[in-house]
Structure 1
């Protein structure tokens, strides 16, 4: 069952009417096919027009949709032979950042990403995708292994930010994020990062400092959440829609600014409406980028990452 967002209420009403009509026609001999087709087309057109003109705040809501596919979903739908590896060899395992080795279209890759969970129990276990120091140190370990074995690195970023708890700070959160970012920049192999939902702050950059950065059509990527920005600037989170607009957090804004390289199309109505199709689109885009990067040397790849961030600073 689809969970509708606030701005989807007109679509929800139409789809409820269609469902009621179907249910009422089960024991009824009246032919309602024509009316059903009319309502279904009206609903599809309304959904398409709604998603073609989303505001940055509405895109933020879509990126946070509870049914939006996460790391484990993409592993199941777009990758094969996933072998998870855990632990940072220093403190412990972090369930918010998962990783290991996998294949995609026959290519062997190191795969790392944030996992938010899909119900209350799993969200608590995965800490809502907010990584702790041991998660970023695990990512560093996997990236170093990928470099050693000559495997491309693929990351799927989906976090509101790194975990801000006292225990994370005590274990060196800032240092772990900085080291993870450094590990990305120093990789001697191709790296393709994709923002699949939320790309929040340093928690996202630590896994997205790649020479190719992709974003799903309705994902968002920002230095702080719209609510956090609004609380700082206007002293109220109610100004979050205005903050989202001002920060240019959408894939379309960031493509124009040169922060990302490519926008991956989502099914009409968002990735949560058709996860299999979304996974297929994502796999195709990642494979195309890996093909393009396969001829570059380690020095070329490192130079591309360096120039990317220097250009942003300029």
Structure 2
């Protein structure tokens, strides 16, 4: 278990309980269960206290936790007959974006998502979930296929933002993001999206332009990272805590503003503490959202999606 900075007191208590139990295994006749149970109870209460009142910045830390399930984990657990589709038919295959045809339950769908990787090797291979233009052009190709074959689209958003490198800019990063967003608005099939970790900048919007958008309880979704915002506004990245509060990037804030439609509850302590329960909850939310849209016509789906985004500004001003 990887502990975040604010979880260090919890790590000490849970560590002591584990040490006691390990000692008992090597020493016959030693009964430590009572002491270990007391430590477990103390740790459980501390976990409730910590996660009962997370600040916006702490939610950012939880959303970025390396042990949270990523796109690949959801695809492997929730979808069957997954057939990955690669390449943008123009430049290359971007490994930060994965997608293909699959089944969610008995329903054929197109699934697309950002993949961050789970260790050093795969994180480098996946570019930490930061897509280049070819990643968004691959997504456009898959959206076109979904529209052609009348497949609902599922997108899983988890990116710090689009890759800001020189090569990406030379190959038309902003144009690729804009066209991916445009394509999401144009297709006549249900589009549902879940922010499973970080929803960073236009790189996230390009995948989250959907009829229904959900967020995991401790995920974030924002136009810019708190560190980037603090660097621009105060010339000091260390003011990221203040920036996180000002950005209103939490699921709870965004539900109130009308940017997202539902919040998917996470296990106590975050998705990283019970990956299976989190994945199951996301699967149930996806099936529910697709079910809400299943009987709508192509024209109604397009109108619904456009209205959703046009209404955001009005709701935001009212809030």
The bucket for the TM-score relative to the shorter chain is over 0.9
The answer for the alignment partner of 2:10 in structure 1 is 11
Between the aligned partners of 1:219 and 1:30, the Cα distance in structure 2 is 43
The answer for the alignment partner of 2:120 in structure 1 is 120
Q: Does 1:64 align with 2:64?
A: yes
Q: What is the CA deviation profile of residues 51-105 of structure 1, one whole-angstrom value per residue up to 9, with x for unaligned ones?
A: 1111000000011111111111111122211110000111110000111011112
For normalisation by structure 2, the TM-score amounts to 0.96
Q: What is the CA deviation profile of residues 78-134 of structure 1, one whole-angstrom value per residue up to 9, with x for unaligned ones?
A: 221111000011111000011101111221110000001111111110011011111
Q: What is the CA deviation profile of residues 223-259 of structure 1, one whole-angstrom value per residue up to 9, with x for unaligned ones?
A: 0000000001110000000000011000000001100
The answer for the alignment partner of 2:50 in structure 1 is 50
For normalisation by structure 1, the TM-score amounts to 0.98
Q: What is the CA deviation profile of residues 115-164 of structure 1, one whole-angstrom value per residue up to 9, with x for unaligned ones?
A: 01111111110011011111101101101100111110000000010011
Q: 2:21 touches 2:33 (CA, 8 Å); kept in 1?
A: no
The answer for the alignment partner of 2:182 in structure 1 is 182
CA shift at 1:25, angstroms?
Answer: 1.1
CA shift at 1:31, angstroms?
Answer: 2.4
- Specify the SS of the correspondent of 1:89: coil
Q: What is the CA deviation profile of residues 286-308 of structure 1, one whole-angstrom value per residue up to 9, with x for unaligned ones?
A: 00111111011111111111111
Q: CA RMSD in A?
A: 0.9
Between the aligned partners of 2:154 and 2:30, the Cα distance in structure 1 is 54
Q: Which runs of 4+ in 1 moved over 6 A?
A: none
Q: Does 1:38 align with 2:35?
A: no
The answer for the alignment partner of 1:288 in structure 2 is 288
Between the aligned partners of 1:33 and 1:22, the Cα distance in structure 2 is 7
CA shift at 1:196, angstroms?
Answer: 0.4
Unaligned runs of 5+ in 1: none
The answer for the alignment partner of 2:317 in structure 1 is none
The answer for the alignment partner of 1:140 in structure 2 is 140
